[in-house]
Structure 1
Amino acid sequence: MKYLKLSDNDFVLSDDSGFVAEVKNLFSDKDQLRCFLRITFGSATVFSATHNFFSVRGEQEFVKYMQEHKEYRMDWKRYYFDLKETLIDAYFDAEGEVMDIKDIEASDVKYYLYPYIAVGQNNVLYAHGGTGKSTFAIALAYSLFHKTEIVVDYPNVEFKGNILYLDYETDKAGIKSIYNRVCEKEIPKGRFFYKREDVPLKNNRGLKKLLLSKNIKLLIIDSIGLAAGGNLKDEEEAINFFVSLRKLGVTPLLITHKNKSADESQKGASMFGSVYFYNYARNIFELESEGDTLRVVHKKCNFNRLENEIRFYLVRENGKIR
């Protein structure tokens, strides 16, 4: 399906079927993507109403209504899916925008949680299996809502969105077990979401809608390997992964594994897979465990200085880690 952008909130979408969708006054607010939708075929108007593309009931009513038009032989479920996905891409994807450089305001990179989570940057945690990558990632998420020893004295941006933990490696019971051990207090309901995932990022057409509907601002991906799919040593897979990630329009916190046979003298070799995974990451931390000590080493930062090695001493008592 193709689209023509008339303004920031007005679009015309069409495909080979001959149907034309006119979208006016489109706006997004939490669980809504609302507009005035008019669908025509030639000179005939076949649908005209206010519509919310994030409403399951709205989708069902649209499909039922259109199926009543027996003169139009269409797979309306498929048509609606293509219309919605194209509209989401058109409305939220600003990559095609061309701007005069004089109109662009320069600004420093901001942080949700310094130095680990830089806003809009590819933040990465990597380590050998069993080091505590998932545990540390959840501890970072927890620290966005409750002050912990992880939080340093730095003017972080207030985190007003929600978090999605996209899990390719374990299951909901395993992640909830880590959550229970790490979090002394509850994260407010409706702020931290979990999803078990199997579809690689490049093929996951429904993910962007989910992120928008849940107001996700921080996406934790565990781990890069399965989220990327394919041969991780192939540079094209790395490039496709980061292109797909950028289109989601959220801040990522990416978890990945350490290359067991890495030549530590070779820059970027410690992260498993193509060196392009290292190159496209902007803020990288390596985790190492030594007994009850977790060492966090700042390996790369494209926009700020590298922090000194940070050590956390883990105390385990009553099923909790602090």
Structure 2
Amino acid sequence: MSLPDIKEALNEYEFKWKAEQVTIQATLLKEHSDGRVTGDITITTQAKEYHPHIHQSQFNFSAGRTRETLAKTLHSRVPDLISLKQWEDIIEQLCVKIVAMIREGEPALELAIDDTKNIPPEYLLEPILLKGLPTIIYGEKGANKSTLSILFSICMLLPWKDNPLGLVCPTRSIKSLILDWEQDKEIVQYQAKCLKDGMNLPYFDVYYRHCARPLANDLPQIARNISKVGAEVIIIDSLGAACGGELNKPGPALDFFAALRELRIASIILAQTSKDTESKKKTVFGSTYFTYYARSVFELVKADEIDKTSSDIALFNREANYSARHDPIGFHLTYNGTGIMVQRQDVNIGQFIKRHSTQQAIYEVLKRGAMKPKEIAKETGENENAVRVALSRMKAAGKIVMTDQGYGLLSKDIMQ
């Protein structure tokens, strides 16, 4: 009995027994909490006298009875290819090797911490996206999440160093692959063309894949597309459908991030807000694990529209794992019928006051000069008692000072 040649890709293996002219592909592999290892198998032959396909099914690699049953099934379908004993040996080799490889995991590494330069995590698009890590952008329906994510991908692809968004782009072209669970390719093409025309951009390609199954169930196919495109970033639109299951439970969130981690790629994940429309502090809809496992989280908020030809949106950095939280980033969108122009602008906190914390609101109004608590409450629309509590905390933290005119910012903050 020969030993197989084994080829490994993301969450899939190919076993080839050359002498026996048998190939088995094992995909969608998963180790369950009870110790079972399951997956899909496709069995083919290279023998010219047979049709290549022999068998395809889901399979439990951990159960002895299923091995015996499978070997008998295969021998009954191609009785003259190899003996039943050879089929039993092949299935045994397959199962032992699959279970061992799945349970082995990654090897431990020795990381040297010496006197060399300490290099911080690398941004692919500063301050939005870190190399190899997930960023979540969440917001209400109609906040322009998809449009903004496409624009971010364009900035990295060109790369657009002098972009009007105030973002720091990479020095080389970086491709993104849009994984779309919500729209279709025509809509994405339309959005990209509107941005190209509205911002007078050169020709570029958008890389796109229509998705229907949860990310964890579509991993090998997605990995092959990432490799084919040469993408270093994926845009997941959107989290709910890509995750699948009941989003408020931890299981789907943990499965989603486990699958994402296997891809080893930077990701911009678009998500919806929590259902509580009255809360000032909106969160990602679903389990708190979505926020915990993302390395950076931004809320995208759209201001009330004054006219139909333009809108103002702002990104608020709610969570940042490897830096201080970034200041709000404002954008002005102009629609001219055939194109969309997007430009960076200062965030007018009054437009987004319902989505801002009390301390952030106070900070913004004090940029205009020192004020007393009652005046601050009037400007921010906050309860005066809540303002006084926030002022006390900000003063204790050294963020503000008391002056003859009331509370004021430190001089360095006023100049910002």
CA distance in structure 1 between the partners assigned to 2:335 and 2:119 by the alignment: 42
Contact 2:312/2:330 (<8 A) preserved: yes
CA distance in structure 1 between the partners assigned to 2:314 and 2:259 by the alignment: 31
Deviations 1:16-46 (A, max 9, x none): xx7743259x99xxxxxxxxx99436xx374
CA distance in structure 2 between the partners assigned to 1:231 and 1:159 by the alignment: 40
Deviations 1:175-213 (A, max 9, x none): 122111112324534xx3111110101111311112112
1:124 aligns to what?
Answer: 136
Q: Does 1:22 align with 2:30?
A: no
Identify the match of residue 273 of structure 1 among 254, 277, 286: 286
Distance 1:39 1:289, change over 3 A: closer
CA distance in structure 1 between the partners assigned to 2:209 and 2:52 by the alignment: 38
The one-letter amino acid of 1:169's match is E
The one-letter amino acid of 1:117's match is L
Q: Percent identity?
A: 21
2:213 aligns to what?
Answer: 199
CA distance in structure 1 between the partners assigned to 2:328 and 2:53 by the alignment: 64
Distance 1:233 1:19, change over 3 A: farther
CA distance in structure 2 between the partners assigned to 1:289 and 1:240 by the alignment: 31
Distance 1:303 1:69, change over 3 A: farther
State the Cα distance separating 1:220 from its structure 2 match.
Answer: 0.2
User: After superposition, where does 1:143-292 map in structure 2 within 5 Å?
Assistant: 143-144=155-156, 145=158, 146=160, 147-152=162-167, 154=168, 156-183=169-196, 184-189=200-205, 192-204=206-218, 205-261=220-276, 264=279, 270-290=283-303, 291=305, 292=311
CA distance in structure 1 between the partners assigned to 2:240 and 2:113 by the alignment: 39
Partner of 1:216, secondary structure, is coil
State the Cα distance separating 1:214 from its structure 2 match.
Answer: 1.7
| TM-score after normalising by structure 1 | 0.70
Contact 1:66/1:76 (<8 A) preserved: no
Which segments of 5 or more consecutive residues in structure 2 lack a partner in the other structure? 23-42, 59-73, 75-93, 306-310, 342-416
Count of aligned positions: 263
Distance 1:76 1:133, change over 3 A: closer
The one-letter amino acid of 1:22's match is D
2:333 aligns to what?
Answer: 314
Greater Rg, structure 1 or structure 2?
Answer: 2
State the Cα distance separating 1:151 from its structure 2 match.
Answer: 3.8
Contact 2:44/2:52 (<8 A) preserved: no
Identify the match of residue 304 of structure 1 among 299, 323, 338: 323
Identify the match of residue 97 of structure 1 among 107, 126, 147: 107
Distance 1:263 1:202, change over 3 A: farther
Identify the match of residue 112 of structure 1 among 114, 118, 124: 124
CA distance in structure 2 between the partners assigned to 1:38 and 1:200 by the alignment: 26
CA distance in structure 1 between the partners assigned to 2:3 and 2:176 by the alignment: 36
| TM-score after normalising by structure 2 | 0.56
1:12 aligns to what?
Answer: none
Deviations 1:217-264 (A, max 9, x none): 110000000000000001111111000001012111100001131675
2:401 aligns to what?
Answer: none
State the Cα distance separating 1:77 from its structure 2 match.
Answer: 11
Contact 2:271/2:285 (<8 A) preserved: yes
Distance 1:77 1:160, change over 3 A: farther
Partner of 1:109, secondary structure, is coil
CA distance in structure 2 between the partners assigned to 1:169 and 1:239 by the alignment: 22
Contact 1:294/1:311 (<8 A) preserved: yes
The one-letter amino acid of 2:313's match is L
- Decide which structure has greater helix share: 2
Which segments of 5 or more consecutive residues in structure 1 lack a partner in the other structure? 1-17, 28-36, 48-62
Partner of 1:97, secondary structure, is coil
CA distance in structure 2 between the partners assigned to 1:180 and 1:108 by the alignment: 36
RMSD: 3.6
Distance 1:210 1:21, change over 3 A: farther
